[in-house]
Structure 1
Amino acid sequence: MMEVSAHLGQLVTIVIMAIALGLDAFSLGIGVGLKGIRLWDVLKISFVIALFHVLLPLLGMFAGHYMSSILGHVTSYVAGGLLLLLGGHMIYNSFKGDQVQFMNYRSLPGVILFSLSVSIDSFSVGISLGMFRSDLFFTVLAFGFFGGLMSVLGLLLGRTVSQGLGDYGEAAGGVILFTFGLLFIF
C-alpha cells in the first residue's frame, strides 16, 4: 500500500512539473499569438515544442543518472538547487519586462528557435529527475503532452487577450519549480 502511494505521489509530481514547464510555452505563445497566427502555424509550432519537451528532458535525465552515480547521497540537494535556480530564473524573467524578439515564427529556424527557448528549462528539470528513479516513459510523455498543449492554448489565447497575462504564466511556472526545489532540499 505504501509503495502504491509513493508511486502515485511521484506521478502527480511529474504532472505538476510538466504543467509548470508548459506554462513557459503558454506565456510566450500568448506573445506570438498576439501578432496574429494561422491555425497551421499553431499546430506546427506546438508539435515542435512538444518534441523538444520530450527530447530535452530525456537528455537531461540521462545526464542526471550519470551525475547521480558521481554525487551519491547529495543528489537531492543538487536536484533541489537546480530547481530553485530554474524557478528563480523564471520568476525573475517574468518581472524583468523585456520582450523576447523572435525570428519569423513561420520559418523553420524561427520555429526551432522559439521551441528551443521555451523547452530548454525542461533539460534542467530532466537532470534533476534523472537523479532519482522516475518512470522515464511517463515523464517524457507528460512533458511533451503538456508542453504541446500549453503552447496550443497560449498561441490561441494570444489571438484574443492582452500581453500582460504572459508574464504571470511564466511567474507561476517559476513559483511551482521553486517550490519543488525547496521540497527536494527539505
Structure 2
Amino acid sequence: MLEATLHEGQLLTLLIMALALGMDAFSLGVGIGMRGIRLLDILKLSAVIGLFHVLMPLLGIAAGQYMSLLLGHVATLVAGLLLLLLGGHMLLASLRGGEELGPSFADHRKAGGLLLFALSVSVDSFSVGISLGMFAADALMTILLFGLAGGLMSVLGLLAGRRIGRSLGSYGEAAGGAILMTFGILFLL
C-alpha cells in the first residue's frame, strides 16, 4: 500500500514537472508560430523538441551524481541567452521586411535552426534530470512524461501562435520575436 502511494506521488510530481518544462516549448512555439509555419514543420519541430525532452533529462539523470547546483544555473543562463538571440533575430528580420540577416541560424526549417530551437527549450530538462538522478527517480517514466509533454506543448504553442500570427498579419514575426526575448530576459533574471 505504501509503495503504491509513493509510486502515485512520484507520477504526479513528474507529471507536474513535465508540464512545467513543457511550458518553455509552448512559449517558444507561440513565438515561432506567430512568424508563420506549415503543419509539416509543426510536426517536425515538435518531434525534435519531444526527442530533446527525452534525451536531455536522460543525460541529466546519468550525470545526476555531479554538480547539480552549478549546472542548474548554467542551463538556465544558456536557455535565456538562446531565447534572447533567437527573439532578437526574429525581431530584426521583421523590421527589415523579412530580409535574411546573414546566416539563417534561427530558421526552424533548417537542421541548425531546428536543433537550436529544440536545445533552447530542453536545456533546463537536463538540470532537472540531474536533480532527479540524485533522488533515484524512475528514469523511464521521467523521460516518457517529459518527452510527451514537451512535444505536445510545442504543438499546442505552434498552433496557437500560427492562429495569432494570422490575426496580427505582418506584425506577427515582430511580436513573436518580442515574446521570445521577454522569456529570455526572464530566464536571465
- Per-residue CA distance 1:46-67 (angstroms, 9 max, x = gap): 0000111000100000100x33
CA contact (8 A) 1:46 1:151 kept: yes
Write the distance in 1 (CA, Å) between the matches of 2:75 and 2:6: 24
User: How much does 1:7 deviate?
Assistant: 1.4
Partner in structure 2 of residue 39 of structure 1: 39
User: How much does 1:99 deviate?
Assistant: 2.9
CA change 1:82–1:100 in 2 (3 A) is farther
Consecutive unaligned residues of structure 2, counting only runs of 5 or more, are 90-104, 166-174
The yes-or-no answer on 1:145 pairing with 2:133 is no
Write the distance in 1 (CA, Å) between the matches of 2:16 and 2:71: 13
Question: Once the two structures are aligned, what percentage of the paired residues are identical?
Answer: 54
TM-score, with structure 1 as normaliser? 0.71
The yes-or-no answer on 1:135 pairing with 2:138 is yes
CA change 1:131–1:44 in 2 (3 A) is same
User: How much does 1:161 deviate?
Assistant: 2.6
Residue 20 of structure 1 aligns to a residue whose secondary structure is helix
CA contact (8 A) 1:25 1:147 kept: yes
Write the distance in 2 (CA, Å) between the matches of 1:158 and 1:26: 9
CA contact (8 A) 2:29 2:157 kept: yes
TM-score, with structure 2 as normaliser? 0.70
Consecutive unaligned residues of structure 1, counting only runs of 5 or more, are 68-77, 175-186
Aligned residue type for 1:58: L
Write the distance in 2 (CA, Å) between the matches of 1:83 and 1:116: 15
User: How much does 1:134 deviate?
Assistant: 1.2
Aligned residue type for 2:87: Q
- The one of 102, 105, 119 equivalent to 2:108 is 105
Aligned residue type for 2:58: L
CA contact (8 A) 2:56 2:129 kept: yes
Write the distance in 2 (CA, Å) between the matches of 1:84 and 1:119: 12
Q: Larger C-alpha radius of gyration, 1 or 2?
A: 2
Residue 137 of structure 2 aligns to a residue whose secondary structure is coil
Partner in structure 2 of residue 118 of structure 1: 121
1:20-169 equivalence runs, <5 A: 20-64=20-64, 66-67=65-66, 99-101=87-89, 103-161=106-164, 163=175
Residue 22 of structure 2 aligns to a residue whose secondary structure is helix
